[in-house]
Structure 1
Amino acid sequence: MNDMINRQPCDPAVSLFGQGKSSAEIWSALVSSGVAPAAAEAHVNSLLLAVALLGQGKSAVEIWSALVSSGAAPAAAETLVRDLVEVRRMQLARQREEEEHRSSGFCKRCYDESTPLSPGNISTVNGTGTMFYGEDRGCCDCGSVVRVHWVVFCGLPLIPLGTYRYRDLYGEGTSSKFLARRTQTNSQQIAIHYSLSLVVLFVFVAVVMAIRSGNR
């Protein structure tokens, strides 16, 4: 029992249990596959006992010992317990992922394409600091968009800090409170922002030079 490893279940009863089948459905499937009715019933009873003990927080060794004491063959009990523990682990992992998704504020597609990494606090002083720019790949389901997190100077983006799935909680322009999850870097979006910054900088320099020339 000490060499149990994570793997897909090979015990058909455990596999069916993981699919949400009832004990009657599991018994019927075992009998249909050629297992004797009495043996199928004994195996289902072993499964139910193992599930109950697992729910009580018993260890794999304790569950195996209880199954053997109830008459199950040691090898069959080991396979059942090993598979059941793995199925339960996968179920808990799915539950955690579903809970994280529900609390994330994003639809399933946007959640799956992003990571929980947050940009932290976003703030600027006189146009210098960090802020988001751009809107790309808007989602019709959750309303999120892809934006780039920048270090800015005088409002001009200088250094990209990452691309994020971004969702404004109170609607555009009404609040700075938002949700954001890191996603794949959008190089095209970053290039556009750099280009716009260069255009603004060029126009600013041209205006300054024109003013100076006019004052001479």
Structure 2
Amino acid sequence: MNSLAFFKHQEARDLFAKIDYALKDGVHIQNSIHQASFFRFIEENEESLKDFYEEFYGVYLEHGGETINKYYYLEFGYNTRGNIPLEHRYFFPNEYVIVAFMVYKIIFIDGYVDLSSVSKIQKIIRQDYEDLKPGLYRALAKAKREKTTKINDENVDKVVLDAFKEFAKIGWITLDEDLFDTLPAFERIAKIYSDYINNLEDWLKGDKVI
């Protein structure tokens, strides 16, 4: 059975359980320093692992990017989480999605490509995007199900910091206290939400929801 062929790999006993938990917990795996062995194992057993997750869990092992930017993740079918146990079903909070929109815009669209400080991102959002702040704060309030009056600069700074911790958890960035680097998997936010990101100003000013 091809879906179990990866068990014959010499590193399966040491690596597969860790990879399996990571993927089910929403982690994106790429050829970075901390994930290199995981990435190699998946790449060498990609077809077998694809069959395994689809046959046993009803989910799909997918990849984004190519060559050095390639990354793997689990994709769930439309309106289903497959057969993944509840304790390992990953849900990405909407407020962090909105922060990711802003971070992607700041770095990749508006050209702050050398930006590597969370505190500087927080400051840029506060000071350089005054025209978007009202819509951004309304969107975050809706995502958190709070009154807009409760969302201020201090609250937003906390949401941004918490979002960066979550980005690191799922393999979108590396994070060392205040310093971060985006990883190839961060591009997945644009892959999923390109319409929102490409029209972010209209979306925020129009006060729509995700």
TM-score interval, smaller chain: under 0.3
Q: Name whichever structure is richer in helix by fraction.
A: 2
Higher RCO (Cα < 8 Å, 6 or more apart): 2
Q: Name whichever structure is richer in strand by fraction.
A: 1
TM score, norm. by length of structure 2: 0.25
